[in-house]
Amino acid sequence: MKLKPIVVAATLLASLAAHAQNQITVVNFGGANGNAQKKAYVEPFEKATGNKIVSVEYNGEQAKIKAMVEAKNVTWDVVEVESPDVTRGCDEGLFEKLDYSKIGNKADFSPAAVHECGIGVFIWSTVMAYNADKIKTPPVTWADFWDTKKIPGKRGMRKGARYNLEFALMADGVAAQDVYKVLATKDGAERAFKKMTELKPNIQWWEAGAQPPQFLVAGDVALTTVYNGRIDAAQREGKNLGITWTGGIYDLDYWVMPKGGKNRDVALKYIAMASGANEQAEYAKLISYGPTNTKALAKLDAKTLALLPTSPANSKTALQFNVGFWADQGEALEKRFAAWAAQ
């Protein structure tokens, strides 16, 4: 009889341990994207598997992952990261190598989505947007974005070198397919900064993705660069905001598994489910980010497809964000940008 409480305690501990095994922490960027993931991935996964998902929001701080891995105390199981971080983190040994035999057929995914340490979650785009209540003739090109006589008012731009230098070169007449070739040269970088200087008195900087739609609605800016999903979310709330897709820069976010996570099997099952064609089609209906599983496109209607960065009409003049270029030259250009912005 005396042993009974110990047996009960042991059973309880075992069941708690089993429960802990079945709980994973999934980290993303929150906002409309986080809400769409919850409906398309998190809730169906919990229902289908009985596993619990704890969702955590962050702002892309790779340093947090690095600290966990180095301390051998990894509490995040699956993390959404931006494209430069998947390669950098992989090189630094911060992420597990993915077992694609447990995820899906590599041939079903956009080539850019397949990485040894990560798999593309969705394809998104940085575009220009405007308030259709205030601007009756929408901008067509990046030259229009720079033309404050034609379209008076401030311009919203993300505070950083990335995207802005590419847009500046396109505004200066460089074709989308030649942007990185030009930007890689000393003269090209000079040309981009010179073009940025032209617009500088009219720029209102933004640092969080939620700000550009707010700036447009408030009338603080006439035009802004913005993540296309943020405009989609604002439109769903009834705001009359429009997108110009010309010369948009598309990129991918990736799922990674921090090295040394304790729930690798469940984490991999979650990634596999979130990479399925049906689930990705569901996600694309909730927020206009393009699926990385190409089989998902056939499951979407024309109206949904028309809002995606990956639709033929929207992607024909688009530029793929060049991760390799920014990995090589990004640090120097960001330092130069910070000094330029502070002047």
Q: What is the pLDDT of residues 83-129, one digit of tens each?
A: 989 988 999 999 999 999 999 999 999 999 999 999 999 999 999 99
pLDDT > 60? residue 248: yes
- pLDDT score recorded for residue 130: 98
Nearest alpha carbon to residue 184 among 321, 317, 333: 333
* β-pairing verdict for 223-227 and 319-320: unpaired
pLDDT in tens, 156-174: 999 999 999 999 999 999 9
pLDDT > 70? residue 32: yes
pLDDT in tens, 176-200: 999 999 999 999 999 999 999 999 9
Using pLDDT thresholds of 50, 70 and 90, give the confidence band for residue 5: very low
pLDDT > 60? residue 30: yes
Indicate the average pLDDT of the chain: 92
How many other C-beta atoms are found inside a 10 Å radius of the C-beta of residue 73? 10
Burial of 61 (0-12, 13-18, 19+ CB in 10 A): exposed
pTM strictly above 0.85: no
- C-alpha to C-alpha distance for 199 and 340, rounded to whole angstroms: 13
- C-alpha to C-alpha distance for 233 and 217, rounded to whole angstroms: 13
pLDDT in tens, 265-279: 999 999 999 999 999
- pLDDT score recorded for residue 1: 44
- Which residue segments constitute the domains of the chain, with CATH numbers given? 4-123+252-315 (3.40.190.10), 125-251+321-342 (3.40.190.10)
Q: What angle do CA 189, 193, 198 make, to 5 degrees?
A: 150
